[in-house]
Amino acid sequence: MSGSRKVTVTTSVLLLFSLASSVFLLRRLDQVRTSATLEEVLYLNSPKWVRRLSLGYTGLLADIYWTRAVQYFGSKHVTRATDYKLLSPLLEITTTLDPKLIVAYQFGANFLAPKPPNGAGQPDQAIALVEYGIRNNPDNWKLYYELGFIYYYMESKDYAKAAEAFERGAKVPNAHPFLRVLAAQMAQHAGEIQTARMLWQTAYATTQDDLIRKNAVAHLRALKVDEDITELEKLVAAYRQQTGLPPSSFNVLIGAGRLLGVPVDPDGKPYRLVDGRIELRNPEDFPFVEKGLPPGYEPGLPKFH
């Protein structure tokens, strides 16, 4: 057999072996037992081991693991679960296989950071994930924005760390100029609603992703409600202090010269004034509000996070 013939045969054998190994991995990845909904088993739980077994198909396997992470989060989210123990390992494997998969950092962090039922309630893991993304993609300013966003909005209102993250991002070539503004806002400890509005407005303005934009709009609508109700609560409290009784309706406040008209929510529907409380008529239309929920109201699952 000639040398070239041997090379051809050897190459063919190696290719077949690689394909067979990849098929084996894909089948293992698809072996999801329906009985393992509570005590899941992560079949391939070592990022480095998975990378070695990928035989060069790291991009393909990263996409598969990313899909698995999204499916896992979705299945947990639908059932309002509080235990997301496989989410962080799935994201770690995904980003180890493909450190350039930016979407895994952006959406993965938003899966990890929020408290249940909106997320896994794992802000530390979210921060670690984004920091790993920054180390592998130091010129992607959106990751610094994501990091600052987590520090301020999704963890503990840590102004100093959020400001530091935004300032780091502002130094990246071609970074959005608004990062420096955000850093300054954090450094000045701006009001919470105003700062949160600025963050979501930036999120909307700096992406073409339709899901992220819809998510930002939903949060902005909720912030408007929270701001409205905060101001209305002040009017109700002032009236109560003056008269000793809560106003029975908005018309009472209008008659007292404290309101020009019946206040409405972002959809144009009047707020309700019940026993001195300000309530939304349709709270299900504002899944992220912190105020205006009727007593005993059980919120449904938000469409975004």
Sequence-ordered list of residues with C-beta below 8 angstroms from that of 67, at least 6 positions apart, any chain: none
- CATH 1.25.40.10 residue window(s) in the chain: 40-217
Question: Tell me, what's the pLDDT at 99?
Answer: 94
Is 109 within 8 Å of 126 (Cβ atoms)?
yes
Mean pLDDT of the region 66-78: 89
**28 pLDDT more than 60:** no
Mean pLDDT of the region 17-41: 46
- Mean pLDDT, the chain, rounded, equals 81
Question: Tell me, what's the pLDDT at 118?
Answer: 82
**38 pLDDT more than 50:** no
Sequence-ordered list of residues with C-beta below 8 angstroms from that of 297, at least 6 positions apart, any chain: 283
Q: Mean pLDDT: which of 21-25, 41-45, 179-183, 217-221 is highest?
A: 217-221
Please report which helix (H) or strand (E) contains residue 285, including its range. Answer: none
2 or 75, greater pLDDT: 75
Mean pLDDT of the region 44-51: 60
**15 pLDDT more than 90:** no
**252 pLDDT more than 90:** yes
Structure confidence at residue 55 as a pLDDT band (50, 70, 90): low
- The pTM assigned to this predicted structure is 0.61
Considering the domain delimited by 40-217, tell me its CATH architecture. Alpha Horseshoe (1.25)
**260 pLDDT more than 90:** yes
CA distance 17 to 212: 41
CA distance 234 to 263: 14
Mean pLDDT of the region 80-98: 90
